[in-house]
Amino acid sequence: MSCALSRRRFLAGSIAMLGASYSRPVWSNAAPSPLPIPTLIDGTSGEPVDLKIRSGTWSFKPGVETPTLGFNQQYLGPTIRTRRNSDLNLHYENTLTEGVAVHGHGLHVPGNVDGGPQLEIAPGDRWQPALSIVQPAATCWYHSHTHGKTGQQVYRGLAGMIIIDDEMNDSIALPRRYGIDDLPVIIQDRTFDARGRLVYSLDDASEDGWLGETVVINGAIAPVANVPAGKIRLRLLNGANARFYIVAFADGRSFHKIASDGGLLTAPVPLTAMEMSPGERCEIIVDLSDGNAAELLTLFEDEFDEDEEGAVGDLRDLLRRSKKPLPAPSLTLKVDRALSAHTAPLPETLATINRPKQNEITRTRDFLLAMDEGGGKGHGAHGGHGAMDMTINGAAMDMNVINERVERGVWERWRIRSNQGAHPFHVHGCSFLIERMEGAAAPPDQQGWKDTVVLDDDDWSEIIVRFDHPATEAHPYMYHCHILEHEDRGMMGQFTVS
Interface residues toward ligand C2O, by CB under 6 A: 103, 105, 143, 145, 279, 426, 428, 478, 480, 482
Q: Which is nearer to ligand C2O, 387 or 497 (CB)?
A: 497
Sign of CA dihedral 222, 227, 231, 234: negative
Shortest Å, Cβ 105 to ligand C2O: 3
Task: Choose from ligand C2O, Cu ion, none: what does 243 bind? Cβ within 5-8 Å by kind.
Answer: none
Q: Which is nearer to ligand C2O, 428 or 469 (CB)?
A: 428
Among 423, 466, 475, 489, binds Cu ion (CB under 5 A): 423
Do 106 and 160 contact (CB within 8 A), yes or no? Answer: no
Q: Which is nearer to ligand C2O, 342 or 480 (CB)?
A: 480
Q: Which is nearer to ligand C2O, 151 or 252 (CB)?
A: 151
Judge residue 185's burial from the number of C-beta atoms within 10 Å of its C-beta, 0-12 exposed, 13-18 middle, 19 or more buried: buried
Among 12, 102, 481, 492, binds Cu ion (CB under 5 A): 481
Q: Which is nearer to ligand C2O, 296 or 478 (CB)?
A: 478
Rounded to an integer, what is the distance from CA 127 to the centroid of its chain?
24
Residue with the shortest CB distance to ligand C2O: 105
Among 234, 483, 484, 497, binds Cu ion (CB under 5 A): 483
Shortest Å, Cβ 235 to ligand C2O: 16
Q: Which is nearer to ligand C2O, 162 or 464 (CB)?
A: 162
φ and ψ of 398, to 5 deg: -135, 120
Q: Which is nearer to ligand C2O, 268 or 279 (CB)?
A: 279
Q: Which is nearer to ligand C2O, 279 or 490 (CB)?
A: 279
Task: Choose from Cu ion, ligand C2O, none: what does 143 bind? Cβ within 5-8 Å by kind.
Answer: ligand C2O
Supply the DSSP string of 110-169, one letter for each residue: -GGGT--GGGPBPTT-EE--EEEE-SPSEEEEEEE--TTTHHHHHHHT-EEEEEEE-HHH
Task: Choose from Cu ion, ligand C2O, none: what does 417 bind? Cβ within 5-8 Å by kind.
Answer: none
**Inter-CA distances, 289 with 296, 334, 340, Å:** 16, 11, 11
Do 163 and 38 contact (CB within 8 A), yes or no? Answer: no
Q: Which is nearer to ligand C2O, 243 or 480 (CB)?
A: 480
Supply the DSSP string of 347-401, one letter for each residue: PS------PPPGGGEEEEEEEEEEEE---S-GGGGG-GGGGSEEEETTB---TT-
∠ CA 135-282-477, nearest 5°, is 45
Task: Choose from ligand C2O, Cu ion, none: what does 480 bind? Cβ within 5-8 Å by kind.
Answer: ligand C2O
Report if residue 5 touches Cu ion, rule: CB under 5 A: no
Beta bridge partners of residue 497, listed in sequence order? 406, 471
User: Contact region for Cu ion (CB under 5 A) — 51-59, 120-128, 183-191, 426-434?
Assistant: 426-434
Task: Choose from Cu ion, ligand C2O, none: what does 379 bind? Cβ within 5-8 Å by kind.
Answer: none
Do 189 and 213 contact (CB within 8 A), yes or no? Answer: yes
Report if residue 428 touches Cu ion, rule: CB under 5 A: yes
**Inter-CA distances, 284 with 73, 236, 261, 265, 296, Å:** 26, 8, 12, 11, 12
Do 145 and 153 contact (CB within 8 A), yes or no? Answer: no
Shortest Å, Cβ 293 to ligand C2O: 32
Shortest Å, Cβ 330 to Cu ion: 24
Task: Choose from ligand C2O, Cu ion, none: what does 486 bind? Cβ within 5-8 Å by kind.
Answer: Cu ion
Shortest Å, Cβ 260 to Cu ion: 15
Report if residue 486 touches Cu ion, rule: CB under 5 A: yes
Q: Which is nearer to ligand C2O, 104 or 252 (CB)?
A: 104
Task: Choose from Cu ion, ligand C2O, none: what does 483 bind? Cβ within 5-8 Å by kind.
Answer: Cu ion
Task: Choose from ligand C2O, Cu ion, none: what does 129 bind? Cβ within 5-8 Å by kind.
Answer: none
**Helix, strand, or coil here: 486?**
helix
First to last CA, the chain: 43
Task: Choose from Cu ion, ligand C2O, none: what does 318 bind? Cβ within 5-8 Å by kind.
Answer: none
Task: Choose from ligand C2O, Cu ion, none: what does 119 bind? Cβ within 5-8 Å by kind.
Answer: none
Report if residue 105 touches Cu ion, rule: CB under 5 A: yes
Q: Tell me which residue of 98, 95, 183, 88 sits closest to 142, measured CA to CA.
A: 88
Q: Which is nearer to Cu ion, 111 or 327 (CB)?
A: 111
Report the relative pairing of strands 231-238 and 182-190 from DSSP bridges: parallel
Greatest Cα pair distance in the chain: 63
φ and ψ of 344, to 5 deg: -55, 145
∠ CA 493-365-418, nearest 5°, is 65
User: Contact region for Cu ion (CB under 5 A) — 49-57, 101-109, 151-159, 287-295?
Assistant: 101-109
Which residues have a Cβ under 8 Å from the Cβ of 291 and sit 6 or more positions away? 229, 335, 337
Task: Choose from Cu ion, ligand C2O, none: what does 231 bind? Cβ within 5-8 Å by kind.
Answer: none
Do 133 and 88 contact (CB within 8 A), yes or no? Answer: yes
Residues in contact with Cu ion by the rule CB under 5 A: 105, 423, 428, 481, 483, 486
